[in-house]
Chain A
Amino acid sequence: MEIPYTVQPRPDTGVYNGKMGIWLFLASEIMLFGALFSSLILLYIGSPEGLWHDSVSHLSVPFATFNTLVLIASSVTVVMSWASLKMQDLGKYRIYMGLTVLLALVFLVVKGFEYNEKFSHGYFPKTNTFYAVYFTMTGLHALHIIGGVIVNLYLLFPGTKMWETEPERFTNRIECAGLYWHFVDLVWIFLFPILYLML
């Protein structure tokens, strides 16, 4: 006996299992980052005048702007990879998914440079609460990116086998991975202005 609605949506809920699962997972992720953002606000209110502002001025806005564009581009490519599968084009899927992974790696490398620069100038998480928040939140976000890269790499290489047997299910998988990837982008889109521009 098969587990129902793994591929086809259930009529009364309108979604297949995986899609509902990923949405629920993202809801919990929102709570996680929501808690971190609330902590950020609370610590900001309690911080001495100007301390956070001075710390922010050491961050590199060009780096981060570049990274924002990279992530937005990767969001587009991941949608394209899903669309390619919808149009039964596995070759294009491979290209777009490959691009997505590549862009994610670019993001991580740039992030690595940014971290390295901070460390070499003696800014560590323990320097003050702003850097603590900065490193923790961007670090956690980077971990999410790494997780996404691993999943996408799986879907790009060994996972593709499923295309032969269950193409629809495979397309669904890409959709779920894409939803997660959009969420990771979204977190960055909140992180970037708050950490780099607003404080």
Chain B
Amino acid sequence: MVTHESHHDHHHHDEGFWRKYIFSVDHKVIGIQYGITSLIFLLVGFCFMLVMRYQMAWPEKAFITTDQYNMLGAMHGTIMVFMGVVPLAVGAFGNYMVPIQIGAPDMAFPRLNMASYWVFLPGCIVMMLGFLTDGGAAQSGWTSYTPLSVLAGSGKFWDGQTMWLLGMVFLITSSLLGSVNFIVTIFQLRAPGLTFMRLPFFVWTQLVTAFLLLLAFPPLEAAGILQLMDRLAETSFFMPSGLVVSDVVQDQFSGGNPLLYQHLFWFLAHPEVYVLILPAMGIVAEIVTNNTRKPLWGYKSMVYAAIFLGFMSFLVWAHHMYMTGMGTAISAFFQTTTMIISIPSVVILTAFFISLWGGSIRYNTPMLFALSFLPMFGIGGLTGLPLGLSTSDIHLHDTYYVIGHFHYVVAPGTVFALFAGIYYWYPKVTGKRMNETLGKIHFWGSIVCMNLVFMPMFGMGLAGVSRRLWDGGAVYAHAQEVLHLNEYSTWGAFGLIFFQLFFIVNFFGSLFSKEKTDDNLWQATTLEWCAAPSPPLPHLNFARIPEVHRGPYEYSVPGHKTDFSPQTMKETEA
């Protein structure tokens, strides 16, 4: 951080170190803070996964206890979703790029932006403090289903699950502050001439994402508050009468409904899936158009699809709950909405594929990652189909098939898109370019290992092996024939961390590279490249607010001198 900032001209000598780098209100610094924090948490979550994978592949070694396994599992999910991918996709990329892409000097509420990060970080820390408690961190899964989560732990306050809930309240508050800021920024601070249909697709996805965060998170906040009440004040929101745990009748509880929690949780958590995937699609759109040197095919239909996706994501939550004993009418409703929501995803994916046709494709590292997103997300999306119909879900629900499905969406899907974004925008943020050779090794290694990790899971899922098993299924007869797949997954995971070393070395090493890049090294059209220097000016972004004259992806326009026509370029200049 310090290294690249030192290239700036120091106009703001009056700002001290703390104001400038720690409690900064500059959206770029906050974006970098989010980025670094979330990359660290992605690594932490990944290490948790390695330990679990080791345990599952060789359960007879009893590397960790069942408690520790459940802790790692719950925290892996929570970290990856709430402290890793979302802060990176929205907090880092969104914060850094959205204002520059719309030609704004900063976010609409810079201090709110700072507050959002400084609520996020304590939330993460509070949650991780769970590991210091007597019983360890939360171990009821990232879903924290009641009654298990309410009963978990014996010390009620100083306990991993309580810490998880408190941390969750912090994280939710943080993303509420952030999403208000994003929406206002995108609506209010667009540069002159930048109409909605001239917004880069990335900005659109950020806008839809912000709405999802704004409207879907509060119900989880409610669920978190109610669960805290159940744990600390012995209320019975989610706790039915007549519970017997370890031969002890829990007569302090009566009259609650455990399914209520699931409804509140999934009302958030399904939109959350689109929070994870939409910004990734936005990043892919930027990189694919830039490296095919042609406009995005069906830009408008993609925008409408993204909006529709966001809207529908509020109406599908109970497809996570087919096995809770729901009636025909409710199940029919949610199956129908689930089938409907698959259509806009197909539209977006198809538009990406067709965008490639007729292009002049450059294969640089960001493009490789962006391209690999398409088939990987394709696998993730398609394997969602049998889970979306309640009948086929009977066999596959809560098996490894589900794990394979959503990991294909999020890991080689979203995370690859995020890597693409890092390689693509690194020169924008630092003024340096990441090494291509290391980047390509990182890419090819990662894609092979990713598939080695997740492809076997479909086999295990079809065999009916349940998720979250400490011994990887060794107890179960129906798992015996597929147990060896656990080992492939584990080797894949170890391979994966090996290839991430190339990324880590590249990420830090490139900071010290002597070569400064051009302001617009990718020859891109969007405002962050064509109207602002790399790295952008501190606190201002632009020397003066740019004026926008055209759509975001005007590449290879017939009759123009260059194969890219920046958004700031007037028609007369062409």
On whether A and B touch (CB less than 8 Å), the answer reads: yes
Check B255 against A46 for contact (C-beta < 8 Å). Answer: yes
Q: How many A-B residue pairs have CB under 8 A?
A: 128
Dominant secondary structure of chain A at its interface with chain B:
helix
Q: Which residues of B contact A (CB under 8 A)?
A: 104-106, 108-110, 112, 176, 179-181, 183-184, 187-189, 214-219, 221-223, 225-226, 229, 233-237, 252, 254-257, 260, 263-264, 267, 540, 542, 544-545
Considering the complex of A and B, which 7 residue pairs feature the smallest CB-CB distances, nearest first? A132-B235, A32-B218, A35-B219, A31-B218, A35-B222, A126-B234, A129-B255
Closest to A31 in B: B218
Besides A28-B179, A31-B217, A35-B264, 17 more A-B contacts (Cβ < 8 Å) are: A1-B540, A3-B105, A3-B108, A4-B188, A17-B109, A20-B187, A28-B180, A28-B214, A35-B267, A43-B260, A124-B233, A125-B229, A128-B255, A129-B254, A132-B233, A132-B236, A136-B235
Query: Could you say which of B189, B223, B255 has the most chain A C-beta atoms within 10 Å of its C-beta?
Result: B255
Closest to A130 in B: B255
Show 5 residue pairs from A and B whose CB-CB distance is below 8 angstroms, ordered by the A residue: A17-B188, A36-B226, A126-B233, A132-B233, A136-B235
Closest to B108 in A: A17
Check B180 against A25 for contact (C-beta < 8 Å). Answer: yes
Query: CA–CA, A120 to B183, complex, Å?
Result: 47
Query: Could you say which of A16, A28, A140 has the most chain B C-beta atoms within 10 Å of its C-beta?
Result: A28
Check B256 against A32 for contact (C-beta < 8 Å). Answer: no
Check A48 against B222 for contact (C-beta < 8 Å). Answer: no
Check A140 against B187 for contact (C-beta < 8 Å). Answer: no
Q: Please report which residues of chain A, range 111-163, place their CB below 8 angstroms from some CB of chain B when the two chains form the complex.
A: 124-126, 128-129, 132-133, 135-136, 140
Tell me, yes or no, whether A87 is within 8 Å of chain B by CB.
no
Specify which chain A residues have a CB less than 8 angstroms from the CB of B105 in the assembled complex: 1-3
- By the criterion of a CB under 8 Å from any partner CB, how many residues of chain A are at the interface? 40
* Contact A10:B236 (CB < 8 A) given known A1-B105, A43-B260: no
Tell me, yes or no, whether A24 is within 8 Å of chain B by CB.
yes
Query: CA–CA, A10 to B183, complex, Å?
Result: 14
Specify which chain B residues have a CB less than 8 angstroms from the CB of A1 in the assembled complex: 105, 540, 542, 544-545
Q: Please report which residues of chain A, range 6-29, place their CB below 8 angstroms from some CB of chain B when the two chains form the complex.
A: 6, 10, 13, 15-17, 20-21, 24-25, 27-29
Check B188 against A24 for contact (C-beta < 8 Å). Answer: no
Specify which chain A residues have a CB less than 8 angstroms from the CB of B225 in the assembled complex: 136, 140
* Contact A3:B106 (CB < 8 A) given known A28-B214, A43-B237, A128-B255: yes
A81 to chain B minimum Cβ distance, whole angstroms, is 23
Query: CA–CA, A4 to B194, complex, Å?
Result: 15
Query: CA–CA, A133 to B233, complex, Å?
Result: 12
The contact of B189 among A3, A51, A133, A135, by CB within 8 Å, is A3
Specify which chain B residues have a CB less than 8 angstroms from the CB of A88 in the assembled complex: none
Specify which chain A residues have a CB less than 8 angstroms from the CB of B108 in the assembled complex: 3, 5-6, 17, 21
Closest to A10 in B: B188
Tell me, yes or no, whether A60 is within 8 Å of chain B by CB.
no
Specify which chain A residues have a CB less than 8 angstroms from the CB of B233 in the assembled complex: 124-126, 132, 135
Query: CA–CA, A13 to B236, complex, Å?
Result: 45
A195 to chain B minimum Cβ distance, whole angstroms, is 15
